[in-house]
Amino acid sequence: MVQKTAPGGRGVWWGIALIAIGLLWLFTSLGWFSWDFWADLWLLWPLVLILFGLNFLLREHPQRIPVLIAVGLLGGGLLWIWNARSGVQGALEQISIPLGPVSQAQIRLAPGVGRLEVSSLEEGSASLVEGPVRLLPGERLERRSDVRGSEAVVVLEARGRTSGAARSREGWELKLSPRVNLRLDVNTGVGETILNLRSLQVSSLEVNSGVGRVQIELPEQGNYRARIDGGVGELDIRIPQNVAVRLEAKTGLGGLEVPNGLLKQGDNRYESPDYASTANKADLEVKGGVGRVVIRR
């Protein structure tokens, strides 16, 4: 008689982990969870070490699996409740950098955990950059603004270790001057990113995404370059109707959608028929990470 053995504990736990991650990823893609949910989930990582340790200690216990599941649920729930009840918000800083004689600006934005939203100021505004920045507990804002003649360099970057997670739509809500030629460099951490650049003058755009959905509306005017490197989460890039595009798109783990009317120029390369002759054009390079890449008009 051949004796059947139960699968090892390691295989069971890898199976449970893969199923759990897959389900959470599916629910996020379906819109049931926000991508910001992963910021909260990351807080539970010490629980994984605890469960592996208990699995080792209880490997001979007949009720090992139910015990570990119960401990995991209890520990996760307690951590989640404690973090939610702490409810301590970080500092709220109001950014207001005057425009002055500036006609060109290099702006670098690097939030940590939380939502980032960038849009345009009113045409007559006297500011170069303006808006609230909500930090998490433990974060501090490193800011630098150097102006030399008509050129400015602005750096806004979150530093330090956070002791919480973003639970609301608060975060960085910055508006930029539409009267300045911009070179924009955005490095996101964990959280949703929305860049509405339609009314801005942008000569170059660099986006390096962390974890979270990224939505970018490209400028309506100008001849500019955009380099977008996806992390974990959906990339949604919107090209104005009047802007011709030269596109190179490489996907990671996820699908790719490109707008109709582009001519395929080779592997991963597309181009508008009127790209060479039109004044408003975008040279766009997109590298997908884990998640769907959608490029549309």
pTM for this entry: 0.74
3-state SS class at 272: coil
DSSP assignment string, 155-215: EEEEES--SS---SS-EEEEEE-TTSEEEEEEE--BS-EEEE-TTSEEEEEEEE--BS-EE
CA gap 216, 207 in Å, rounded: 10
Tell me if 101 sits within 8 A of 150, measured CB to CB: yes
Tell me if 88 sits within 8 A of 165, measured CB to CB: no
Task: Give me the tens of pLDDT residue by residue for the chain, a chain 297 residues long.
Answer: 444 444 445 555 566 666 666 666 665 555 555 555 555 566 566 666 666 666 665 566 555 555 555 555 555 555 554 555 444 566 889 999 999 999 999 999 999 888 899 999 999 999 999 999 988 877 889 999 999 999 999 999 998 766 555 554 568 999 999 999 999 999 998 888 999 999 999 999 999 998 888 999 999 999 999 999 988 888 999 999 999 999 999 887 778 899 999 999 988 899 999 999 999 999 999 998 878 899 999
Tell me if 219 sits within 8 A of 202, measured CB to CB: yes
